[in-house]
Amino acid sequence: MACTAQPATSVAAGNTQGKWWKDGVVYQVYPASFMDSNGDGLGDIRGITSKLDYIKSIGATTIWVCPHYDSPQFDLGYDISDYESVFPPYGTLQDMDDLISGCHSRGLKIIVDLVINHTSYLHKWFQESRSSKSNPKRDWYIWRPAKYNANGRRIPPNNWRSNFSTNAWTWDEATQEYYLHLFCPEQPDLNWENPETRKAIYASAIEFWLKKGVDGFRVDTVNMYSKPKDLPDAPIINPKAEHQGAASLYCNGPRMHEFLSEMHDVMAPYDTMTVGECPNTPDRSKVLKYVSAAEKQLDMVFLFDVVDVGQGTETKYDTTPRNWTLPVLKKAVNNSQSLIIGTDAWTTSFMENHDQARSISRFASDAPEHRVHSGRMLAMLNATLSGTLFIYQGQEIGMINMPEDWPIEEYKDVESGNFYKYVARATNSDPVALAKAKAAIQHLSRDHARYPMCWDSTPQGGFSTNPKTWMRVHDLTDEINVAQQEADEGSVLNFWRRMLKVRQDYSKLLVHGYYEVLDEKNEHTYSYWKTSKDSRALVVLNFTHRAQDLELPKVETGGRLNLAISTYEHSTGAFDSLRPYEGRLYILECET
């Protein structure tokens, strides 16, 4: 039949064998900011349980809970002091059991964060490790003697910079050695070279929670466990800086595949889903090895191509707001979409998480007159890409970045805070440099994902009864909130619901289909085909605040492009142009 229009490349998009997580829609929850059930100003586990019906109503099939474990919270829970207990202000193990059974009784799956590149410095393993050089757990972390420079000054074992703008080594006075931490000093890196350490990690962090009934893990920093032998210096990119970015050395190290295969075997008796966080991995063959079904390592990864768009290279903040063009975004999307073409691998579709600023503010427009259309258009993009779909709390109601006029004191995250302090130190608090740093932080910092969820127009946006919330509630919570959007058919929330229904109805095309961009170089519109064995869908998106001409591609005789869903009402026609931030999805129908 002429109109089925097979693409030139064979349609082998992803191994479509029925794994529950492939057609899944994962809703990510950040416990501190989702819902406070006990009025202490901080979200908690019971708060999450109280909102499960809401999460299900959006069309999500799985929830991912960011770290709920006991922790001194230097990096908001990514510094775990005990894998087997819950951070007391969040609740108890019983509350987690209730959350797990609350999910399962509703037909939802639940995955939790697995943070095993490092622990908190308060974890008992590190406390033992640092107690003396001869302690049996000394080798569970990465300890090295000092080096000395030409002037006899003590210097760290290498020149690596941590992910948080500081030295990656901290000197331990008591035992006179340095320990490695790729993140905060309060997050020492575990030594994965030691088989005994790995065994303990698997038992405490993985099997403990699988036995409790969780359905899998989002695996933090999944490519950093294996460090290069002898920990060499990183190349000097910034001669003025004391420490150098070293991600190309500590990501994807020599034993990564071996470690992930071993971890896979630990999970094999359970029907799990794993999604690994995979920054700094430009080498496609490495990525494919992590996620090829035959390799048995991870089910899928989060690549950073899309969320890195517009960020600086030396450091993420070394940029100015909106420093990107649409062709760059298209190329980034293509990198993760192409991963499944002709392979047995699987991929993900996402634009937000707890480490990213809000997508409307970054990729479309958060101006009052555009933000609803922007939110709907980005929902269409996210929900028509192949792979498992991830939505971050608040994305479904179009939450935007914190207001520009909030002072730097409102930013609570260690990453933005350290960067700002670093610039202050390096420039002797030069006002121009600080203003540039603040502008970059206002555009890109992780804090924008972490202010409280906006539920309704009551004080504190319905997040907490306590006026002292741990982060300030957004000034626009009266305008952007769940209750108001429930009642509005045209809201971003109700558009996401419709879009997820469409995604499910056309799953072969939208979840599993072959992606092919049509207007690679166009700076204003973004169009692509999704193709399955016997049908095709066309998505057209306007990324500007102006109308854009729309010329639909010619289809072969016997075929017609029928509009399945648009982000605008279409009662009046106007099919020849796309309105500001409009998105449309057409399905190719064959006349019989």
Decide: is 415 part of the binding site for ligand TEU (CB under 6 A).
Answer: yes
Please tell me whether residue 75 binds ligand TEU under the rule CB under 6 A: yes
Closest approach of ligand TEU to the CB of residue 229, in Å? 22
* Residue number, 279 or 387, with CB nearest to ligand TEU: 279
The nearer residue to ligand TEU, 392 or 495, going by C-beta atoms, is: 392
For the bound state, the minimum distance from the C-beta of residue 220 to ligand TEU, rounded and expressed in Å, comes to: 5
Residue of the chain from 186, 189, 355, 516 that contacts ligand TEU (CB under 6 A): 355
Answer yes or no whether residue 115 interacts with ligand TEU by CB under 6 A: yes
Rounded CA separation 490/477 (Å): 18
Q: What's at 531, amino acid-wise? A: T
- Contacts with ligand TEU by CB under 6 A: the residue count is 14
Q: What's the rounded Cα separation, in Å, for the pair 437 and 441? A: 6
Identify the residue among 44, 95, 189, 220 touching ligand TEU (CB under 6 A): 220
- Of 75 and 352, which CB lies nearer to ligand TEU in the complex structure? 75
Q: CB nearer to ligand TEU: give 75 or 396.
A: 75
Site string for ligand TEU, 560-579 (x = CB under 6 A): --------------------
Q: What is the DSSP string of 245-282?
A: --HHHHSS-TTHHHHHHHHHHHHTTS--EEEEEE-S--
Residue 470 within binding range of ligand TEU, rule CB under 6 A = no
Phi-psi region of 103 (alpha: psi -120 to 50; beta: other; left: phi over 0): alpha
What residues does 52 pair with on adjacent strands? none
Quickly list H helices, 130-275. Answer: 195-201, 208-212, 247-250, 256-267
Question: Sign of dihedral through CA atoms 482, 90, 87, 96?
Answer: negative
Among 27, 183, 259, 317, the residue binding ligand TEU under the rule CB under 6 A is 183
Least Å distance between CB 66 and ligand TEU?
A: 8
Residue with smallest beta-carbon separation from ligand TEU: 78
Q: Does 163 bind ligand TEU (CB under 6 A)?
A: yes
What is the pairing mode between strands 25-29 and 525-531?
Answer: unpaired
Least distance to ligand TEU from the beta carbon of 245, Å?
A: 11
Alpha-carbon distance 471 to 451, whole Å?
5
Euclidean distance between CA atoms 52 and 75, whole angstroms:
26
Rounded to 5 degrees, what angle do the CA atoms 71, 75, 77 make? Answer: 35
| Residue with smaller CB distance to ligand TEU, 183 or 526 | 183
* 279 is an interface residue for ligand TEU by CB under 6 A: yes
Determine the 3-state secondary structure of 139 from DSSP.
helix
Is the Cβ–Cβ distance between 485 and 491 less than 8 Å? yes
Between 278 and 587, whose beta carbon lies closer to ligand TEU?
278
The CB-of-355 to ligand TEU minimum distance in angstroms stands at: 4
Cα 573 to Cα 579: distance, rounded to the nearest angstrom = 12
Among 78, 250, 422, 526, binds ligand TEU (CB under 6 A): 78
Q: Are 291 and 298 in contact (CB under 8 A)?
A: yes
Q: At closest approach, how far in Å is the CB of 340 from ligand TEU?
A: 23
Nearer to ligand TEU, 312 or 459 (CB): 312
Cβ proximity to ligand TEU: between 44 and 355 the closer is: 355
Contact between 413 and ligand TEU per CB under 6 A: no
Name which position in 316, 376, 438, 584 contacts ligand TEU (CB under 6 A): 316
Q: Does residue 221 belong to the site contacting ligand TEU (CB under 6 A)? A: yes
Compute the residue count for the chain. Answer: 592
Q: Which helix (H) or strand (E) holds 288?
A: helix 284-291
**Shortest distance, position 506 Cβ to ligand TEU, whole Å:** 32
User: At closest approach, how far in Å is the CB of 509 from ligand TEU?
Assistant: 31
Work out the angle at residue 120's Cα, subtended by the Cα atoms of residues 119 and 122, and round it to the nearest 5 degrees.
Answer: 125
Of all residues in the chain, what percent are helix, strand and coil, respectively (each to 5)? 30, 20, 50
Q: How many CA atoms lie within 13 A of 391 on its CB side?
A: 31
From the centroid of its chain, how far is CA 514?
Answer: 23
For ligand TEU, which residue of 289, 330, 446, 512 counts as binding (CB under 6 A)? 446
Q: What is the 3-state secondary structure (H, E, C) of 333-346?
A: HHHHHHHHCCCCEC
CA distance 299 to 297: 7
Q: Based on CB atoms, which residue is closest to ligand TEU, 354 or 448?
A: 354
Residue 180's nearest CA partner among 118, 129, 134 is 118
We find the least distance from the C-beta atom of residue 187 to ligand TEU, in angstroms, to be: 7
Residues designated catalytic: 220, 277
Binding site for ligand TEU (CB under 6 A): 75, 78, 115, 163, 183, 220-221, 277, 279, 316, 354-355, 415, 446
